[in-house]
Amino acid sequence: MSSAPLGQPAITARPIVTQEMKYAVVPTFPESDPRSKLANGPTGSIGDYVVVYRLGVPGVQAASSDFNFGSLESTGDSLIEAPAGKSQIVVELKMTPDAPTTQKLTLGVNREHRLSYVRIRCRAENFEDAAARTHDVVMPFLSQLSFTHQVALITTGREILETATEARQLSQIAIGAVKRLALGQWASTPEQRRLLTSYREGLSSSEPLYQALSFYKVIEGVLSMRTIEDAALRAQGETPDRESERIPQDINAVLHPSDSVLQSESFAPYLGRKFSEVRNDLRENLRNHISHMDFDVTPFGADSYADVVTVLSALPVLRYMARVLLSSVVPSENDDATHHGTDNSE
């Protein structure tokens, strides 16, 4: 398929593209141990959780090739220097000025004496609930730190410990699989190059909201090109004849096997639907919410775990549509080339 990436993954056990991955480890206990009755597998159970968010500097530490449990506290970094003599800093937050209780955060300090992680405790239903509850406390705090100190600040991993069972979940952005080089000849117009730029930005960013906007720009750009082409055909007395693209009814038939495992759930609401319908739905429910700050409705942003989950769920669909549509307007290697690449290797 023209929409499939050239080359094949040369390194397995990585996602096809750089993206968030989660791993869990669940200890087993003998039936005589009370903890055996508490365990609920990799989903977690009702109880107390300790959550660690590793801090990072964008462009220096965003994606990971290793998933090592228990390593986040010792590998984080930031551009914020800790006060002298402090190895940890405890912060108490009120989520609203009149809140009756406070939420305690522990800020870790690395060997360079910079803030390196945030640790927070909570009571939750399971791992997912613990991630949601802590994200909505930690991320607004980090946004305030970023603004106050005027520094770029991201989290590069999250580890959740279920204290009663010692089960753990580790989430990081995993570096994508290496692809073998495939060179051909190609031609491109300025419009096509702008589309390719947006697609590359979508693949290269570690920020889900920006990824979504980048892929949506590709979808919008192809639509704009087609609108211009169709108007030119009508001006010549011709009727545009173009078959509408659809999300396949069986998405597993076109996704890489590892992609199908990770992404089938994202495609489920859109199977068999026209690209135009999916594009319009995502424009109203996602693209506009990301692009605009409308306080007449609930604001949308990366400090909300529910919003991030919404974006992450839509990303595989946006990326797939962007690639299929981009493939329809970017010339193949068999076309006459004005810009070309050739493989001169031995």
Q: What is the pLDDT of residues 177-222, one digit of tens each?
A: 888 887 776 778 899 999 999 999 999 999 999 999 999 999 999 9
Same domain, 136 and 210: no
Q: And the tokens for 107?
A: 């800020």
Phi/psi at 140 (nearest 5 deg)? -60, -35
| Mean of pLDDT values over 140-161 | 97
Same domain, 333 and 236: yes
Same domain, 325 and 213: yes
Q: What is the pLDDT of residue 341?
A: 37
Tell me whether residue 257 is in a domain.
yes
Tell me whether residue 14 is in a domain.
no
Same domain, 219 and 333: yes
Buried b (16+ CB within 10 A) or exposed e, 187-209: ebeeebeebbebbebbbebbbbb
Of the candidates 174, 209, 230, which is a domain's last residue?
174
Contact at 8 Å (CB) between 219 and 279? yes
Tell me whether residue 71 is in a domain.
yes
Same domain, 168 and 249: no
Average pLDDT along the chain: 88
Same domain, 263 and 154: no
Same domain, 331 and 231: yes
> d(Cα 258, Cα 14) in Å, to the nearest integer?
9
Tell me whether residue 11 is in a domain.
no
Of the candidates 174, 202, 221, which is a domain's last residue?
174
Please say if the pLDDT value at position 291 is more than 60.
Answer: yes
pTM over 0.85: yes
> d(Cα 283, Cα 309) in Å, to the nearest integer?
17
* Residue carrying structure tokens 């209780």: 101
pLDDT tens, residue by residue, 172-187 = 999 988 888 877 767 7
Tell me whether residue 13 is in a domain.
no
Of the candidates 174, 205, 228, which is a domain's last residue?
174
- pLDDT tier at 344 (50, 70, 90 boundaries)? very low
**Angle at 122 (CA atoms; ends 120, 128), nearest 5 degrees:** 100
- pLDDT tier at 38 (50, 70, 90 boundaries)? confident
Number of domains within the chain: 2
Q: Hey, which bits of 10-130 come out as E strands?
A: 19-25, 47-56, 88-93, 103-109, 115-124
* Residue carrying structure tokens 């169709």: 230
Tell me whether residue 288 is in a domain.
yes
Q: What is the pLDDT of residue 73?
A: 95
Same domain, 189 and 152: no
Outline where the chain has alpha helix (H). 72-75, 127-149, 190-204, 208-235, 257-267, 275-282, 288-291, 305-329
Tell me whether residue 5 is in a domain.
no
Same domain, 74 and 132: yes
Tell me whether residue 251 is in a domain.
yes
Same domain, 247 and 105: no
Same domain, 207 and 262: yes
Q: Dihedral of the CA atoms 258, 260, 265, 267 (nearest 10)?
A: 130
Contact at 8 Å (CB) between 19 and 13? no
The domain of 101 spans 19-174
Same domain, 166 and 203: no
